[in-house]
Amino acid sequence: MPHHDHDSSLRHRLGRTLRTPIGITALTACLLVALVAVLGPVLLGDRAARIDTDAINQGSSAAHLLGTDQLGRDIAARVVVATRLTLRLTLLAAVIGVGGGLLLGVAPAVVGRRLGRLITATVGVLVAFPGLLFLLFLATIFGVGSTGAVLAVGLAMVPPMARLVQNLTASVAGSDYVAAARILGVGRFKMVVRHLLPNIAEPSVLFATQATGGILVAFSGLSFLGLGVQPPQYDWGRLLNEQLNRIFVNPAAALAPGAAVVLTGLMFGLAGEVLAQAGGRRAPQAPEPARGQQPNPSEEPATDGDGVLVRACDLRVTFPGGRQAVRGISLDIARGEAVGLVGESGSGKSLSALALADLVPHPGRVTAGTLRFDGHDLRDDPRLGTELAMVFQDPMASLNPALRVGRQLAEVAEVHLGASRAQGAARAVDRLRAVRIPAPERRARQRPHEYSGGMRQRAVIAMGLMGEPKLIIADEPTTALDVAVQEQVLDLLAEVREDSGAALLLISHDLAVVAQVCDRVLVMYAGRIVEDLPVTALLGGAAHPYTRALVGAVPTMTTDPGTELATIPGRPPEPGETGGGCPFAPRCERARERCHRTAPELSDFGPDRQVACWFPVGTAAAGGSVAATSYAAEATS
Ligand code: SF4
């Protein structure tokens, strides 16, 4: 891996690389060759074409530095003039090779699985075919001449380029941020442009530039064999062909075009090296932000009244086959409120949150009677990026490793708020400072891998703060972090809420975290909310046997490390497995006949609580046989 100075911009790195001996050599060679290609035919075109029957097949002299050919034309002038055609055809073939290779290389990640496999297998077979034979085979098919040779050489480069791109793409496509982008519904084309290509750019550019040197040699070879450029046109290969039979008489005339091929080939190799060192992994330009989308603060939207920010009624997430992972939940989140959503994995808590953010992965389908955010129907008017921020478990999932953190943040403001590039960059630094990232100006120029785990999560929270979030949905935001960092991130979330007045929907399997941060807790089981209670009642006064069991499974400071923690026997039902009764019944110690027959609905349980249970803890159970006593006490008795 070439050395990267991530603190300086690409221009600085390029400047620095160009000041190294290899950089100076490459730059000088490129400029020289370009100059010769542009000016050569202009200055020496006539001299190279002038036939002089008095000076046929002469050796080198003051008048003819490399001698003359069989028509008395100046060979030195012809070598110089041939530069333009040679380079033009080489670059043309390279465009075909690189373009074709990129297309075939990226295709398996974009097209369907079957076609993708077919493409991969075809590329594999072609790569296994000896390159030179393949080239000659193509040259024979396309016939003698410049066009045929360009096509043959270009197409011969496609399989190795495609193989390289396929391998690189496969490694990038398996990464979390691509999976996250997929979950976020990023389209295939955007996925390729935004996530795949930037992350494979560096090795691809290096390969393509160096392969161009190979193309030059291959093309010259075809011309030398008489399969490429045909008279009266001439490139270096053709000149070599014409002069080789006189190599013992006038060696310079034959060696000059050969040397031109070798030196220019080396130049491409060096140029590739310099580009790779300067960090070919360049961020693509952000799309021009749509102007005039700045939300008008005076335009107060209609609300659902009573300070309700989010209102969802009968929210369902259905997958093909009719499997419902979220089975008709209803919830309100007040402005500024912190609500915890807890439950075992598979309970539907993450999907419920994704449904609010309009991020349910394909082929999941979201339906709801009501789905309102700040008075707007979320289905018509998704709010992600402006008023709704998401924080995921793995911060790397939300950050593209190829882009500088500051740039990624700035894009949110550019795309969603119509900010200019400079405004976006300034706000990014400001937001990084707000989440207490030290030296934010410097950190903004770094890439995610230069951040620690906790700092990345801070950066993701900062990304959420690029808009003016009214709701932050945090899905297991601290699970991937170590304990000390968890605390910092939780403190930060609390601070952010205080400063911005945003509401928080915190999804967690960790009741201790929820108890620390939230005002209210929603407990989910088998795609439904089974209890809605204030956090103060969570640890001691939960009414649903499932909530009780969850609380019983949490270790406390006083738990003897030697004692076994309570676990909930059995497993939650899969979507589609829920029958007519209470879905918790098979695992519930309080279950009665009624529980197996009919599912309880969420209904009021005191002034500020709801529970979905026929025999909630804290009431006399039907039949009066079960005392109003704690579930934990029952379980241990
Ligand atoms: S309804 Fe019955 S089975 Fe379901 S949680 Fe309540 S007591 Fe247990």
> DSSP of 601-631, one letter per residue?
PPEE-STT-EE--SS-TTSPPGGG-S-S--H
> pLDDT of 170-227, one tens digit each?
766 655 556 555 555 566 677 777 677 777 777 788 788 878 888 888 888 888 888 8
Ligand 1 centroid distance, CA of 589 (Å): 8
295 occurs within a structural domain:
no
Read off the DSSP letter of residue 591: -
| Both structure tokens of 535 | 């956090």
What residue owns the CA closest to ligand 1's atom 5?
613
Assign residue 355 the CATH number of its domain: 3.40.50.300
Instruction: Classify residue 177: in a domain, yes or no.
Output: yes
239 shares a domain with 154: yes
Residue 126 forms part of a structural domain: yes
Its domain, for residue 365, covers: 304-381+469-482+494-518
Whole-number pLDDT of residue 556:
58
Closest-lying ligand 1 atom to the alpha carbon of residue 590: 7
Query: Counting atoms of ligand 1 from 1, which one is nearest the CA of 599?
Result: 1
Q: pLDDT by residue (tens digit) across 124-134?
A: 888 887 777 88
Neighbours of 318 (CB within 10 A): 18
How far is residue 615's CA from residue 592's CA, in Å, rounded to a whole number? 9
Q: Let me know the angle formed at the C-alpha of 453 by 448 and 458, rounded to the nearest 5 degrees.
A: 80
Q: Tell me: do 408 and 454 sit in the same domain.
A: yes
Beta bridge partners of 365: 318
How does pLDDT run across 516-554, given as a tens digit for each residue?
889 999 999 999 999 999 998 888 788 999 999 888 877
Among candidate residues 91, 56, 92, the one with its CA nearest the CA of residue 73: 56
- 317, 296 contact by CB (below 8 A): no
CB contact at 8 A, 399 and 410: no
Q: Which atom of ligand 1 has the smallest separation from the CA of 546? A: 5
The reported pLDDT for the residue numbered 370 is 85
Nearest by Cα to 342 from 461, 520, 178? 520
82 and 199, same domain (yes or no): yes
Residue 97 and residue 182 share a domain: yes
Which tokens hold the place of 409? Answer: 């943040």
What is the whole-number distance in angstroms between the Cα of residue 521 and the centre of ligand 1?
A: 19
Pair (363, 508) in one structural domain = yes
Same domain, 83 and 141: yes
CB-count exposure of residue 621 (10 Å: 0-12, 13-18, 19+): middle
Q: Whose CA is nearest to atom 1 of ligand 1?
A: 613
For residues 229 and 103, state if they share a domain. Answer: yes
Is residue 295's pLDDT more than 60?
no
- Same structural domain for residues 255 and 327? no
**Pocket (CB within 6 angstroms of ligand 1):** 545, 582, 584-585, 588, 590-591, 595, 600, 613-615
Residues 434 and 542 in one domain: no
Closest residue to atom 6 of ligand 1, CA basis:
613
Tell me the average pLDDT across 506-510. Answer: 88
249 CA to centre of ligand 1 in angstroms: 103
Residues 244 and 146 in one domain: yes
Report if residue 252 sits inside a domain: yes
Mean pLDDT of 62-82: 83
Specify if 314 maps to a domain. yes
Question: Given ligand 1 and candidates 523, 595, 597, which is best to mutate, with the most ligand atoms within 8 Å of its CB?
Answer: 595
For residue 434, tell me if it sits in a domain.
Answer: yes
The answer to whether 504 touches 474, Cβ cutoff 8 Å, is yes
Mutate to test the pocket of ligand 1, among 529, 615, 619 (most ligand atoms within 8 A of CB): 615
Residue 565 resides in a domain: yes
The ligand 1 atom at the shortest distance from the C-alpha of residue 614 is 1
Please indicate, yes or no, if residue 558 is contained in any of the structural domains.
yes
Pocket test for ligand 1, best of 524, 548, 578, 590 (most atoms within 8 A of CB): 590
Nearest CA to ligand 1 atom 3: 585
Summary mean pLDDT of the chain: 79
> b vs e for 72-101, b when ≥16 Cβ sit within 10 Å of the residue's Cβ?
bbbbbbbbbbbbbbbbebbebbbebbbebb
Q: How far apart are the C-alpha atoms of 10 and 545, rounded to whole Å?
A: 59
**Res 425: pLDDT:** 92
The tens digit of pLDDT for each residue in 407-463 reads 888 887 887 777 888 988 998 998 898 888 899 999 999 999 899 888 888 898 888
The pLDDT value given to residue 442: 93
Residues 508 and 560 in one domain: no
Q: Are residues 473 and 458 in the same domain?
A: no
252: domain CATH number? 1.10.3720.10
State the closest ligand 1 atom to the C-alpha of 592, by its place in the atom list counted from 1.
2
User: pLDDT tens across 117-161, in order?
Assistant: 888 888 888 888 777 788 888 888 888 888 888 898 889 888 888
Ligand 1 centre from 310 Cα, in Å?
A: 29
pLDDT, one tens digit per residue, over 566-610 is: 567 777 887 767 778 899 999 998 899 999 999 999 988 888 899
Work out how many domains the chain is built from and give that number.
4
Residues 369-398 as b or e (16 or more Cβ within 10 Å = b): eebbbbebebeeebbbbbbbbbbbbbbbbb
Ligand 1 center from residue 627 Cα (angstroms):
15
Whether 363 shows a pLDDT value over 80: the answer reads no
CA–centroid distance, 536 to ligand 1, in Å, is 23
Question: Among 578, 582, 602, which is best to mutate for testing ligand 1, by the most ligand atoms less than 8 A from CB?
Answer: 582
State how far the Cα of 96 lies from the Cα of 153, in Å rounded to an integer: 9
Handedness of CA 608, 612, 615, 616 (dihedral sign): negative
Phi, psi of 315 (to 5 degrees): -75, 130
